[in-house]
A and B are shown apart, each in its own frame.
Chain A
Amino acid sequence: MTIRFDPDPIDRQIIEILHGDGRTSNRALGRQLGLSEAAIRKRLRRLTETGTITYGLLIDVSATNMRVFGWAYVEVHPSELSATYRALAGMDRCSGCAMKTGSFNLLAHIYAKDQNALTATIDEIYGMPGVRRVQFRQVSSYPIHRHQYVIDTGEDEYRSWHGGVVKADAG
């Protein structure tokens, strides 16, 4: 179950610095915050062991060949909700997925490189257990995306999703 851990103000400063640069050394962190390396190490251990923070690599969309973004609203037979959630969340073109209220009881954010890839992805979703309807709403822009936050379930396959999407010829 979810363990709650409340970062104190120093933890929050550490998180903020590491959000800006995830490769900041413990020594540099210690220097900025006036703490010993050992104290930083101890705090980082607590933050990672409680699952409060996750180290990740953000990749700019320009460096990938992903061009179509949007939300797939999926209606799934209730008896297959968990199975289809796992299948959707495990797709590497899915950046997030949740079970929700409403007749469309699964919601997934997906990216595709073009219309054909999107069609293939939607077809794949229709092939998942119990799927009755898929409605795709294409996103034209994101006025805000606070990428400093994630929901980490502790399962590796749901942790990052940029495997294999780095573009062949960016620029």
Chain B
Amino acid sequence: MTGTRKIDALDRQIIAVLSRRPQISNKDIAGELGVAESTISVRVDALIRAKVIKPSVQQNIARAGYATVGWIEVSCDHADIERIAAEIAEIETVFSISRFFDNPFLQVMIFAQEVSDLREIVETRIGRIPGVVALATDVSIGEACIKSGIASL
């Protein structure tokens, strides 16, 4: 489980260095912080194993032909939220599902190559899930960014 490892000042310094330069070697972290390389190596491994951090490569969806982002707000009964979210999560182009306290209870952020792909998802996938009462769809126009950052690891 996450959150069980106490992180101290050195851990925080290591995380700060890695967040600026994710590809830095343990040797260079050691040099920057004035600590032995073996210490850094043990710390970094422990932080990764405890799922506090995850050095990772992320795919830039804008370069993969997904020019459009859509947000679909889903209205449904409170009792159906979890089942509907689980069904929507099976759609591969879904980036995230956010759950709110009030209806529309779910907001689905989804990648699309064409706006017509969104229409397809809305009409033939999400719209056909039992219990979905209404959908409100918005699409990106112009600039968009999704940063690398915090996640539930």
Contacts and interface: CB of A to CB of B under 8 A. Distances in A.
Interface of A: 2-7, 15, 18-23, 50-64, 66, 70-71, 81-82, 85, 89, 94-102, 107, 111, 137-153, 155, 158-163, 165-171
B27 to A, nearest CB: 13
Interface centre among A66, A94, A98, A167 (most CB of B within 10 A): A98
B71 A60 contact: no
B34 interface: no
Contacts, number: 264
B143 A62 contact: no
Contacts of A54: 57-58, 60, 148
A82 B111 CA distance: 22
A121 B137 CA distance: 26
A53 B78 CA distance: 38
Contacts of B99: 139-143
A162 to B, nearest CB: 5
Nearest to A44: B57
B63 A159 contact: no
Given A140-B99, A142-B96, A60 B51 contact: yes
Given A144-B94, A149-B60, A161-B150, 17 more contacts: A23-B23, A50-B63, A56-B55, A58-B56, A59-B149, A62-B52, A64-B150, A81-B142, A97-B144, A98-B144, A100-B138, A137-B100, A142-B97, A142-B98, A149-B95, A152-B60, A167-B7
Given A54-B58, A144-B94, A151 B146 contact: yes
B43 to A, nearest CB: 13
A96 B145 contact: yes
B62 A2 contact: yes
B62 to A, nearest CB: 5
B5 interface: yes
B100 A138 contact: yes
Interface of B: 2-7, 12, 15-16, 18-20, 22-23, 48, 51-65, 67, 69, 71, 82, 85-86, 88-89, 94-101, 106-107, 111, 138-153
A153 B98 contact: no
A50 B63 CA distance: 8
A154 B67 CA distance: 15
Contact of A61 (B63, B86, B111, B151): B151
B53 A57 contact: yes
A2 B3 contact: no
B57 A51 contact: no
A171 B3 contact: yes
A151 B19 contact: no
B58 A148 contact: yes
20 contacts: A4-B63, A7-B64, A54-B58, A56-B58, A57-B18, A59-B53, A59-B149, A60-B150, A60-B152, A98-B69, A138-B101, A146-B94, A148-B56, A151-B62, A151-B144, A151-B145, A152-B58, A158-B147, A159-B148, A170-B6
